[in-house]
């Protein structure tokens, strides 16, 4: 059981809303939803019942068709699970509730009864077949769960001291000692390769072997491909799986935009929009829209036909990119910081991943400038302290060469807040730009 930040969110939610609402923990598969809610229920309640709908008990499923007598419902539920429930001191968990939508619909009646608290976990909860013919309860709140971020990865390794020092450096805009910066960058490259999927992190800690980590990640990737096939039932999964598989090749391009030609010949972006929306809802991928006007309400000013796709976990992206070659030498090269591999695509995906975990929406800018006859691009636009802030990711040896960012600042200077370059170097400020090492990306 790893320490996860979502635990404090669950505590706050329980204090404010338990008994009046149910809580849905939504996330991609294998991010740790079931583990964290069981640990929470064990610690914060006198007892709890876990109903696993991926391994259903038909006797329990049948109970949900007879909710007119809740006394009998709870009596039989306790008998079948051998767990004694206590009024206002017990919780019932609906695990993988998307597999049995009738249980999700029952939340309204169960909450009106008021005896117990209810938690749900789900993946693919929004796709059509999982909400077909049921009424989604308005008494349901949602918290989204992501793969482990860098700080959680450090906690898993037993390092509680790194992130407080990193946070203080960022907040005060004071660089760390150079040796410490290099040490933290080594840890961050390690995190990038392992990723934040709890099973992969556990395999790494237990074995100290990237080979064992790879086995876990390949299994998760295959699971995600099967999930994409479930989303794309009309085409037997072909297009959704093709979109997922195309993410590495699209991110390797200069502009990194989604290309329909990477899915099928003569494909058009508009043909995939609904399918991509469902894939984004699965939280296996994240979408980054082109912002058309940097302002505090970024979502209101974007072109939804022009976007980039990122994988939810950069460790998985690395494995997808090198599925057909020997990885050991590649791992060693990236860990050492000296490689000719396109490190930029992994750095950018990881910054996207950290921004999503921190609660930011994903937006980039593609704009015209009189000094160039080609469109200019800035990797991300976020909002901090009420102002839009450009974020450029530079993984190479020359982080201060950022012509597109300079032209963006020149064009929109009166609208912008702080400007950031995320790089491999130590924290620094120069000419109105704040340069931060990659391990500070989660603090943006």
Does residue 133 carry a pLDDT above 70?
A: no
Q: Residues 154, 133: one domain?
A: no
- Tokens representing 408 are 């963006």
- Tokens representing 191 are 């995190």
Does residue 118 carry a pLDDT above 80?
A: yes
- Determine the average pLDDT of the residues in 389-411: 94
Q: Is residue 138 part of a domain?
A: yes
Helix and strand element counts for the chain (H, E) = 18, 14
pLDDT at res. 264: 79
Q: Is residue 1 part of a domain?
A: no
Burial class (CB in 10 A: 0-12, 13-18, 19+), 157: middle
Q: Residues 134, 155: one domain?
A: no
Q: Quick check: helix, strand or coil at residue 304?
A: strand
Q: What are the strands, taking DSSP E only, across 312-406?
A: 363-367, 376-378, 380-384, 387-393
Q: Which domain holds residue 27?
A: 6-144
Q: Residues 134, 170: one domain?
A: no
pLDDT at res. 230: 83
Of the residues 128, 144, 160, the one at which a domain ends: 144
Q: Is residue 171 part of a domain?
A: yes
Q: Residues 286, 263: one domain?
A: yes
pLDDT at res. 128: 59
Does residue 325 carry a pLDDT above 60?
A: no
pLDDT digits (tens, 9 = 90+) for 328-385: 667 776 777 655 666 889 999 999 999 999 999 999 999 999 999 899 999 999 999 9
- 278 versus 421: which is more confidently predicted? 421
- Cα–Cα distance for residue pair 421/152, rounded to 1 Å: 24
Percent of the residues in the chain that have a pLDDT greater than 90, as a whole number: 79
Q: Residues 100, 174: one domain?
A: no
pLDDT digits (tens, 9 = 90+) for 194-225: 999 999 999 999 999 999 999 999 999 999 99
Does residue 6 carry a pLDDT above 70?
A: yes
- Cα–Cα distance for residue pair 263/309, rounded to 1 Å: 13
Q: Check the CA dihedral 288-293-298-299 and report its sign.
A: negative
- Determine the average pLDDT of the residues in 304-312: 94
- Tokens representing 282 are 């699965």
- Tokens representing 98 are 């998307």
Does residue 47 carry a pLDDT above 80?
A: yes
- 228 versus 159: which is more confidently predicted? 159
- Tokens representing 349 are 């995906």
């Amino acid at each position: 059981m790893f320490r996860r930040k979502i635990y404090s969110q669950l505590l706050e939610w329980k204090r404010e809303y338990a008994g009046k609402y149910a809580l849905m923990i939504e996330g991609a598969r294998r991010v740790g939803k079931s583990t964290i809610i069981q640990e929470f229920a064990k610690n914060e309640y006198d007892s709890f019942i876990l109903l696993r709908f991926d391994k259903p008990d038909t006797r329990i499923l049948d109970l949900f068709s007879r909710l007119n007598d809740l006394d009998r419902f709870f009596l039989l539920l306790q008998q079948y699970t051998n767990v004694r429930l206590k009024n206002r001191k017990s919780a019932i968990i609906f695990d993988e509730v998307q597999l049995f939508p009738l249980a999700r619909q029952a939340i309204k009646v169960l909450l009106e009864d008021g005896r117990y608290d209810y938690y749900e976990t789900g993946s693919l909860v929004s796709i059509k077949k999982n909400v077909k013919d049921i009424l989604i309860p308005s008494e349901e709140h949602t918290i989204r769960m992501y793969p482990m971020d860098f700080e959680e990865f450090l906690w898993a390794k037993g390092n509680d001291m790194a992130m407080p020092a990193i946070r203080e450096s960022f907040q005060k805009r004071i660089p760390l000692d150079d040796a410490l910066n290099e040490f933290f960058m080594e840890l961050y490259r390690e995190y990038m390769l392992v990723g934040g999927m709890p099973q992969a992190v556990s395999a790494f800690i237990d074995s100290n072997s990237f080979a064992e980590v790879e086995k876990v990640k390949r299994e998760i990737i295959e699971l995600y491909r099967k999930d994409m096939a479930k989303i794309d039932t009309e085409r037997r999964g072909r297009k959704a799986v093709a979109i997922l598989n195309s993410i590495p090749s699209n991110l390797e391009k200069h502009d990194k935009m989604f290309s329909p030609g990477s899915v099928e010949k003569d494909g058009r972006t508009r043909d995939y929009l609904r399918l991509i929306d469902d894939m984004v809802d699965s939280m296996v991928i994240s979408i980054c829209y082109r912002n058309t006007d940097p302002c505090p309400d970024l979502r209101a000013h974007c072109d939804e036909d022009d976007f980039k796709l990122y994988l939810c976990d950069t460790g998985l992206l690395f494995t997808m990119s090198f599925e057909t070659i020997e990885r050991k030498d590649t791992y060693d090269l990236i860990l050492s910081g000296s490689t000719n591999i396109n490190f930029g695509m992994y750095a950018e995906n990881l910054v996207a991943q950290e921004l999503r975990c921190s609660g930011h929406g994903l937006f980039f800018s593609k704009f015209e400038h009189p000094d160039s006859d080609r469109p200019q691009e800035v990797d991300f636009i976020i909002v901090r302290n009420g102002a839009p802030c450009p974020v450029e990711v530079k993984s190479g040896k020359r982080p201060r060469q950022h012509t597109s960012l300079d032209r963006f600042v020149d064009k929109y200077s009166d609208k912008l807040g702080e400007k950031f370059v995320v790089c491999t170097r130590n924290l620094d400020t120069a000419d109105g730009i704040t340069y931060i090492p990659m391990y500070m990306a989660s603090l943006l």
